[in-house]
């Protein structure tokens, strides 16, 4: 079907796509109600990753060195040469914090938090890249508690120099927070106690990250959080020239919708039994083109083979650029038991000139989730609760019958509202050209 796109702030098309998720949510609720609904509530984190979803590592991290990758228990790096995970999530701020949570069952290992790091940064016997690194090494667990050594290193083009060191408290579950100010002051703290601080008069630039080497197999990094440091509130940057708005709108065929994949993990093959189905519908499919999803067997669900909800859900706030300017924001989500992703985005429906929401397996616009920049990333078991927020938000926006306007409300207005419903996605500064981001959605907020 040929459809025109009114770019850059939404999709114009006569075909309306609808995804009803009520039973998908009911399917997942038994496993989700027991987990907290908010992540990082006391901090402005734009990366929240439990390091359990191996399928999504490439979207959030540049990996250097030897690492088997995330697992159900988190990230364990046993190699002596170590590995680093440097964030790929973009931010314009020079002041940020990297928090790392460790589960220490045995003594030993070296654990690293990187600040202002180049993408090839790796601390070790043969360091690479440029970075600041807070290094916690050789935790010793005894009947008297747990102690470790902490040191700050500055590396330039692979040459790492120790700046300072001290002893630091640890434990079977311990969180370390490293931060860098705008003036390049560096801080390492844990449980409200600051252990190391230093200001660099020749500051480096780069991203945050974590890493390790020589970890006992029983130990794991169970959470990494990266976010703003200080009290600067995110604000939309709308100073970009709007000259490109007058350019001809591209057009093309809407991609053929792909069915909900069988490996989604809690869905059975399509049929029309009418039993507790998710009612996923797609353009071009008859009303019987549903995918049945039953409650998991452990919860008394029926259906062939039962099913199970995902244990980890991953959300990404992304944007697509037109003429070099960020003009269309959206959210993608997937789970550890899915081979594909789903997209939540606002668009303009030609037939009604209304601002509507698409929640489906392909974008309505020319957005390319596999390569578009990521500005916020949340991946954990508790983040699966946000699927309820997405479904509710879609219904509220579509029922509000909001008139679309190219300067807002538009797809960026929807983007802001959606990320505000997912803790950890709502803390980034919108990229240059996100016109309409700050516009409220009438009848919704």
Average pLDDT per consecutive 10 residues, the chain (445 residues; last block may be shorter): 34 32 33 30 74 85 92 93 93 86 97 97 96 98 94 97 97 96 96 96 96 97 90 36 28 30 33 39 30 34 40 85 78 73 85 85 75 88 74 86 93 90 71 88 93
Whether residue 153 sits in one domain with residue 298: no
3-state DSSP percent of the chain in helix, strand and coil, to 5: 15, 35, 50
* Strand, helix or coil for residue 347: strand
Asked if 411 contacts 218 with a C-beta cutoff of 8 angstroms, the reply is no
Angle at 412 between CA 8 and CA 383, to 5 degrees: 130
Whether residue 411 sits in one domain with residue 284: yes
Residue 122 lies inside a defined structural domain of this protein? yes
Whether residue 264 sits in one domain with residue 200: no
pLDDT of residue 370: 82
Helix (H) / strand (E) containing 379: strand 374-380
Whether residue 210 sits in one domain with residue 124: yes
Whether residue 313 sits in one domain with residue 393: yes
Whether residue 220 sits in one domain with residue 138: yes
Angle at 211 between CA 206 and CA 212, to 5 degrees: 150
Whether residue 25 sits in one domain with residue 94: no
* Strand, helix or coil for residue 400: helix
pLDDT of residue 24: 33
Whether residue 395 sits in one domain with residue 252: yes
Whether residue 174 sits in one domain with residue 95: yes
pLDDT of residue 390: 77
Residue 90 lies inside a defined structural domain of this protein? yes
pLDDT of residue 359: 75
CATH number of the domain encompassing residue 52: 2.60.120.560
Closest Cα partner for 376 from 336, 422, 321, 414? Answer: 422
pLDDT of residue 255: 29
Model's pTM, two decimal places?
0.72
Bridge partner residues of 156 (DSSP): 159
pLDDT of residue 271: 39
Asked if 163 contacts 188 with a C-beta cutoff of 8 angstroms, the reply is no
pLDDT of residue 149: 98
Whether residue 295 sits in one domain with residue 242: yes
Spatial separation of the C-alpha atoms in residues 185 and 155, rounded to whole Å: 16
Domain membership of residue 163 as a residue range? 45-228
pLDDT of residue 235: 36
User: How many domains is the chain partitioned into structurally?
Assistant: 2
Whether residue 49 sits in one domain with residue 152: yes
pLDDT of residue 250: 29
Residue 39 lies inside a defined structural domain of this protein? no
Spatial separation of the C-alpha atoms in residues 235 and 260, rounded to whole Å: 36
Exposed (0-12), middle (13-18) or buried (19+): which is 311, by Cβ within 10 Å? middle
Residue 244 lies inside a defined structural domain of this protein? yes
Domain boundary among 171, 197, 228: 228
* Strand, helix or coil for residue 4: strand
């Amino acid at each position: 079907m040929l459809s025109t796109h009114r770019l850059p702030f939404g999709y114009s098309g006569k075909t309306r796509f609808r995804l009803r998720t009520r039973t998908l949510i009911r399917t997942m609720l038994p496993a989700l109600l027991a987990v907290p609904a908010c992540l990082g509530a006391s901090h402005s984190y734009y990366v929240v990753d439990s390091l359990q979803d191996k399928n999504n590592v490439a979207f959030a991290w540049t990996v250097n060195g030897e690492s088997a990758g995330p697992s159900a228990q988190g990230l364990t790096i046993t190699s002596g040469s170590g590995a680093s995970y440097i964030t790929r999530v973009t931010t314009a701020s020079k002041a940020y914090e990297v928090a790392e949570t460790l589960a220490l069952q045995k003594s030993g290992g070296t654990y690293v938090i990187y600040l202002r790091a180049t993408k090839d940064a790796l601390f070790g016997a043969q360091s690479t890249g440029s970075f600041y690194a807070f290094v916690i090494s050789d935790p010793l667990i005894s009947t008297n508690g747990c102690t470790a050594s902490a040191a700050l290193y500055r590396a330039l083009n692979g040459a790492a120099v120790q700046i300072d060191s001290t002893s630091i408290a640890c434990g079977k579950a311990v969180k370390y927070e490293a931060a860098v100010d705008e003036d390049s002051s560096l801080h390492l703290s844990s449980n409200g106690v600051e252990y190391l601080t230093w200001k660099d008069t020749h500051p480096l630039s780069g991203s945050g990250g974590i890493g390790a080497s020589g970890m006992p197999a029983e130990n794991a990094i169970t959470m990494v959080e990266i976010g703003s440091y200080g009290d600067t509130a995110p604000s939309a940057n709308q100073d970009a020239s709007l000259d490109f708005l007058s350019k001809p709108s591209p057009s093309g065929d809407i991609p053929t919708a792909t069915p909900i994949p069988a490996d989604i993990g809690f869905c059975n093959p399509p049929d029309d039994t009418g039993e507790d189905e998710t009612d996923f519908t797609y353009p071009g499919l008859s009303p019987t083109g549903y995918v049945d999803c039953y409650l998991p067997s452990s919860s008394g669900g029926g259906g062939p083979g039962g099913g199970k909800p995902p244990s980890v859900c991953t959300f990404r706030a992304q944007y697509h650029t037109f003429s070099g300017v960020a003009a269309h924001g959206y959210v993608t989500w997937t789970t550890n038991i899915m081979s594909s992703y789903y997209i939540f985005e606002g668009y303009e429906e030609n037939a009604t000139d209304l601002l509507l929401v698409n929640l489906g397996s392909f974008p309505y616009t020319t957005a390319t989730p596999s390569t578009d920049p990521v500005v916020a990333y949340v991946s954990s078991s508790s983040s699966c609760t946000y699927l309820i927020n997405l479904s509710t938000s879609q219904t509220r926006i579509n029922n509000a019958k909001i008139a679309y306007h190219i300067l807002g409300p538009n797809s960026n207005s929807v983007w802001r509202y959606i990320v505000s419903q997912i803790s950890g996605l709502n803390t980034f500064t919108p990229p240059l050209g996100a016109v309409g981001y700050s516009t409220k959605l009438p009848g919704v907020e």
